[in-house]
Structure 1
């Protein structure tokens, strides 16, 4: 359950940040936010935090892409 909340927060933050930087940088921003969330929020080894943080960022990026596709129709 906590992963779902983190992904939603990363997606929301990336949507907010999108107002200030070009959209082409949003994938990088989501991965960086995911890694930061993994490092500071999860209680694992550092290697696992980095791995899970990257997965969280990629999940948020996928959620961002899905919302972008559904709103274009």
Structure 2
């Protein structure tokens, strides 16, 4: 199932989303892309059943999109 070192997938998802944004993806679609990437990692990378992969993938994608928006909000409040 999900190991503690698999949490490192979250910053990887953030990095891939950032690459897509620099390639021209509108910022409003970033959370959707993060969830989709999380689902893909959960289903294909972790090698668990489909149901477990979907649940873990959603957790990874939503965590990545929350981490992105949380850091963005912190950066805005500093200004």
Normalising to structure 1: TM-score of the pair? 0.90
Counterpart contact for 2:43–2:49, Cα < 8 Å: no
* 1:62 correspondence with 2:66: yes
* 1:3 correspondence with 2:6: yes
Unaligned runs of 5+ in 2: none
SS class of match (1:43): coil
Corresponding residue for 1:44?
A: 48
Number of corresponding residues? 73
Q: Greater CA radius of gyration, 1 or 2?
A: 2
Alpha-carbon RMSD? 1.1
Corresponding residue for 1:21?
A: 25
- Report the CA distance between 1:30 and its aligned residue: 0.3
